[in-house]
Amino acid sequence: MKLPIQVTVNGVRYTHEVEPRLLLVHYLRDVLGLTGTHIGCDTSQCGACTVLVDGAAVKSCTLLAVQADGASVTTIEGLAQDDRLHPLQEGFWEKHGLQCGFCTPGMIMTACDLLRRYPDPTEEQIRHGLEGVLCRCTGYQNIVAAVQYAAERLRAGAPPAPTR
């Protein structure tokens, strides 16, 4: 059984026929070639595969591609605009928010949703909000600093995360 789906990813509309059991993360990586979304644990724990679906952060290893039919998906590839990094990407760069970088796409996409809810988050809100992404390198300290940096830049008027 294959079903037609229509998904908008980073502003581009795609139509494909997929098996119902195809996970969204495999659709993004294997069908669309968007390998910025990483597969870490594949058991809904680590959050490396987090993307935005209609603006909400979700673990794309725990969503079927058919469930995203009609939705707008944003991946890490969709954040930078005209070669200009998104404030969160800039923050991770400036504040050394990554070491190996494996969790970083999931961390940034989750932080997008977090900053949409809390434009001026407390440190506790940042730590609670990022609980669903595991980083084994940094000890999280610089990740928190990176999100604080981005929050400040966004409040100062940098373009916000796309929610298309």
CB of 70 to other proteins, least distance (A): 9
CB of 157 to other proteins, least distance (A): 26
Only one residue has tokens 């990483």, namely: 38
Q: Which is nearer to other proteins, 58 or 154 (CB)?
A: 58
The residue ranges that bind other proteins (CB under 8 A) are: 1, 3, 19-23, 42-45, 47, 50, 56-59, 62-64, 66-67, 69, 110, 113-114, 128-133
Q: Which is nearer to other proteins, 5 or 156 (CB)?
A: 5
CB of 75 to other proteins, least distance (A): 14
Q: State the burial class of residue 102 (Cβ atoms within 10 Å of its Cβ: 0-12, 13-18, 19+).
A: middle
**What residues contact residue 149 under an 8 Å CB cut-off, 6+ apart?**
87, 90, 91, 94, 95
Q: What are phi and psi of 153, to 5 degrees?
A: -60, -40
| Amino acid letter, 112 | C
Q: What are phi and psi of 80, to 5 degrees?
A: -70, 145
CB of 39 to other proteins, least distance (A): 10
Q: Which is nearer to other proteins, 21 or 155 (CB)?
A: 21
Helices first, then strands: H and E counts in the chain: 5, 5
Q: Which is nearer to other proteins, 87 or 106 (CB)?
A: 106
Q: Which is nearer to other proteins, 94 or 118 (CB)?
A: 118
DSSP state of 85: P
CB of 50 to other proteins, least distance (A): 6
